[in-house]
A and B are shown apart, each in its own frame.
Chain A
Amino acid sequence: MNKAEILIIDDEPQIRKLLEITLESNGYKVLQAETAREGIIMAAAHPPELILLDIGLPDKSGHEVLKELRAWYNKSIIMLSVLNSEEDIVTALDNGATDYLTKPFRSAELLARIRSAIRRNETHDNDSKLVCGELDIDITGRVVTKNGEVIKLTSTEFNLLVLLAKNEGRVMTHQYILKEIWGVGAQMETQYLRVFIGTLRKKIEDNPNKPQHIITESGIGYRFT
């Protein structure tokens, strides 16, 4: 059914092999490149549905490749990295990466991220209604219902939820969310963000202590699923 094409740009043959088996057995079509150069040429010749891009490539840094790709490629790019460096990840996200995974990662996690990143390719920014699991968000009517019941949200909570839901499957940095919701100049006010995420979780999550929709990416930002 889903014959979506995924391009892997990674110089480690073992990782490529593993990804190839995992992805193909889940119905994806896999393309492989082992250098940045090769990857960019392959992506340009035949733009895939999603790119898995390693940050540490032999000929060029993955950050550079990301910038080059983002000049014309607007589908999802998931970064892979062995370095669990917050700085590195935030840079990649700011340069337009959709998501990131730190090696070693679990296949189930990878597949979940790929599914939501591909779903993201299909969502349209101009939709007036969003459906996320049991949540229905009516953007024009500014109404949110959960299992058919209306949830009362303050104006800021609603804006925050819409921003998160519109970017489902993407990791958004604290800076980005703060700028979008509170405007330029509020980027340092992470305490507001924490408080509003907390209250929003209490209203939309079944168990706010074990959030299923708003996931915290430690030191980086939030992901909506």
Chain B
Amino acid sequence: MNNFQPRQYKSSTQYLICILSVLLVAAACHLSAEFIGYKTVALILLMTVSVLAMLFDILPVLLAAVLSALIWNFLFIPPKFTFHISNTEDFLMFLLYFFIALVNAVLSFKIRKEQKKTRDKEEKEKTIKLYNTLLNSLSHELRTPIATVLGAVDTLKENEAQLTAVHRNELLSQIDTAAIRLNTQVENLLSMSRLETGMLKLNIDWCDTNELINAVIHKLALEHKQTIVFEPDDNLPLFKYDRGLIEQVILNLLQNAINYTPANATITIVAKQQADNCVITIADNGKGIDEKELPHIFDKFYRVQQSKTGGSGLGLSIVKGYVEAHNGKVYAHNNKPSAGVTFTVEIPAQASYLNHLKNE
């Protein structure tokens, strides 16, 4: 369907290529005039015009059609080197040639236009669908925290006298949580649009993966009840990757594990080197993910059925985008026979063993 891509050349280039190819083919035919008759030449020239019609816009192709007809007449139809045509059959053939070349050009152009229309329509439908999903997801994910903020503020202002200190604090922390949630959604949207528009620029530098994981755990320290286990391996080399993006990857995966496991669950993070990859696994012992849903969890806006926790369905697709920007892989599987899910991130990265010399 995408075989023909008109307008990929500048219009002046198209004219130039059309004229040159007709001239070249005509010259080649002229040189081999003793082997091929002038009627065959007509077919060869027609073929040239047809090929051009498949590639270029209508005007340059029409020019090629006219030019080839004239050249055929001038160089090949006897008497040669005149535009004069002596016999009726040749004249008829010349008219037919002219006609077929023109129809050829126009038809190819129309077909291509139709194809482009269908393509545009499909793309538009896809965009609209994505846009609708985005709007649905957004209006829910943004409005819920906004509603919380407005509601809590109203209660604080209007029922000031009746509120106990405990309730006041409760409302204040509701506002706090809502604002953090709003901020996360905005960050997710920004990350997504950076990925979608190809504006993402990797800032690759040496990173201490242990330190990075510790920083993420520290960041989320107040937001969970689960036990998080991470034992830094002192022999892990430094790796070269984009620290900011991989931090987001680990943060989203850990946040995900926190959101979807019960309070008494244990989340285990391991960072290791495997072949030329920096491999990070985040495993939990929660109830796991339905096997049917596993292939979809990294899709944009996909949310696991019956999930009670709010989420825009963007977190994991951002993880995927950022890991793939590093030419890496991310995948999930249910732990068997034990319970829970393990997410694995593999980032191909240059490693440095400089830290082995550190006790110099």
Chain A interfacial positions (CB closer than 8 Å to B): 86, 104, 154, 174, 190-192, 194-199, 209-210, 216, 218-219
A199 to B358, CA, bound (A): 7
- Are A198 and B243 in contact, CB atoms less than 8 angstroms apart? no
A163 to B311, CA, bound (A): 44
- Are A216 and B206 in contact, CB atoms less than 8 angstroms apart? no
- Are B215 and A216 in contact, CB atoms less than 8 angstroms apart? yes
- Are B203 and A195 in contact, CB atoms less than 8 angstroms apart? no
| Whole-angstrom distance between the Cβ of A86 and the nearest chain B Cβ | 6
- Are A210 and B218 in contact, CB atoms less than 8 angstroms apart? yes
Question: Which of B210, B214, B247, B355 is A195 in contact with, Cβ under 8 Å?
Answer: B355
A-B contact pairs, 21 of them (CB 8 A): A154-B360, A190-B205, A190-B206, A192-B354, A194-B206, A194-B207, A194-B355, A195-B354, A195-B357, A197-B208, A198-B355, A198-B358, A199-B358, A199-B359, A209-B210, A216-B211, A216-B215, A219-B203, A219-B242, A219-B243, A219-B244
Residues of the B chain whose Cβ atoms lie less than 8 Å from the Cβ of A104: 179, 183
Q: Given known contacts A190-B206, A198-B358, A216-B211, what 20 new A-B pairs fall within 8 Å (CB)? A: A104-B183, A154-B360, A190-B205, A191-B206, A191-B352, A191-B354, A194-B211, A195-B238, A195-B354, A195-B355, A196-B358, A198-B208, A199-B359, A209-B214, A209-B232, A210-B214, A210-B218, A218-B243, A219-B205, A219-B242
A110 to B93, CA, bound (A): 87
A191 to B352, CA, bound (A): 8
For residues 179 through 226 of chain B, which have their beta carbon under 8 Å from a beta carbon of chain A? 179, 183, 203, 205-208, 210-211, 214-215, 218
| Whole-angstrom distance between the Cβ of B261 and the nearest chain A Cβ | 23
A190 to B350, CA, bound (A): 14
Residues of the B chain whose Cβ atoms lie less than 8 Å from the Cβ of A191: 206, 238, 352, 354
Chain B interfacial positions (CB closer than 8 Å to A): 179, 183, 203, 205-208, 210-211, 214-215, 218, 232, 238, 242-244, 247, 352, 354-355, 357-360
A181 to B208, CA, bound (A): 20
- Given contacts A195-B358, A210-B218, whether A86 and B211 have CB atoms under 8 Å apart is no
Residue of A nearest to B237 (CB): A191
A195 to B355, CA, bound (A): 6
Residues of the B chain whose Cβ atoms lie less than 8 Å from the Cβ of A198: 208, 211, 355, 358
Residue of A nearest to B221 (CB): A210
Question: Interface of chain A, helix or strand or loop or mixed?
Answer: helix
| Whole-angstrom distance between the Cβ of B234 and the nearest chain A Cβ | 9
| Whole-angstrom distance between the Cβ of B238 and the nearest chain A Cβ | 5
- Are A86 and B358 in contact, CB atoms less than 8 angstroms apart? no
| Whole-angstrom distance between the Cβ of B322 and the nearest chain A Cβ | 14
Residues of the B chain whose Cβ atoms lie less than 8 Å from the Cβ of A216: 211, 215
| Whole-angstrom distance between the Cβ of B177 and the nearest chain A Cβ | 13
- Are A194 and B215 in contact, CB atoms less than 8 angstroms apart? no
Residues of the B chain whose Cβ atoms lie less than 8 Å from the Cβ of A194: 206-208, 211, 238, 355
Residues of the A chain whose Cβ atoms lie less than 8 Å from the Cβ of B232: 209
Residues of the A chain whose Cβ atoms lie less than 8 Å from the Cβ of B357: 195
| Whole-angstrom distance between the Cβ of B175 and the nearest chain A Cβ | 13
Residue of B nearest to A154 (CB): B360
| Whole-angstrom distance between the Cβ of B287 and the nearest chain A Cβ | 30
Residue of B nearest to A157 (CB): B358
A218 to B203, CA, bound (A): 11
A218 to B246, CA, bound (A): 11
A197 to B358, CA, bound (A): 11
- Lowest 10 A-B CB distances belong to which pairs? A191-B206, A209-B214, A190-B206, A219-B244, A191-B352, A194-B208, A195-B355, A199-B358, A195-B358, A191-B354
Residues of the A chain whose Cβ atoms lie less than 8 Å from the Cβ of B208: 194, 197-198
